[in-house]
Amino acid sequence: MQSFKQKKQIFLILSIITPLALTTFKVNAGTFGAEIFCTMRDGGNDHESSWDAAYTYIKKQKGGIFKVSPKQAASQITESVIRDIETFSYCVEYLDKLHPNRKLLRDLKKEEERKEKELEEANEGYSEETIERYSY
């Protein structure tokens, strides 16, 4: 009976400590991801290379079953910059690239799909014989 009670207490302690440790680790990953992103951007690197480096680091540090989405990583970086504005004051100007205009991106994608469809419809009228010039 005593050992069951001890196991129950150990399980309770572990169930409280584990989420706290993982949450702290996640925050640290986001903070260092922000440092990577902001330092690279401030050093003159373009958005894509800075974002790839920071996102890769955040994904690697998160671990676990579920992956960190780009949206979550961007939010972590933004959160870290805003939370520690004194340290990252030079980085505020780069945050707009982390959250692009989603509606504009969707509209551009729809426009591209529409043009592809029009091109396919226009090409349906041509047969293989019409395209091959020197077939006798």
**Interval 1-38: pLDDT, tens:** 567 777 776 766 766 766 655 544 444 556 888 999 99
| pTM metric for this prediction | 0.55
> Chain-wide mean pLDDT for the chain?
80
Percent of the chain clearing pLDDT 70 (strictly above): 76
Classify residue 92: in a domain, yes or no.
yes
Indicate whether 135 belongs to any domain: no
Expressed as residue numbers, the domain containing 6 is 2-100
Please indicate, yes or no, if residue 80 is contained in any of the structural domains.
yes
Distance between CA 99 and CA 113 in Å, rounded?
23
| Number of independent structural domains in the chain | 1
Question: Does residue 128 sit within a domain?
Answer: no
Look at 40-49, 73-82, 101-110 and tell me which has the smallest mean pLDDT: 101-110
Establish if 63 belongs to a structural domain: yes
Q: At what angle do helices 2-42 and 70-83 cross, to 10 degrees?
A: 80
- Between 78 and 64, residue with greater pLDDT: 78
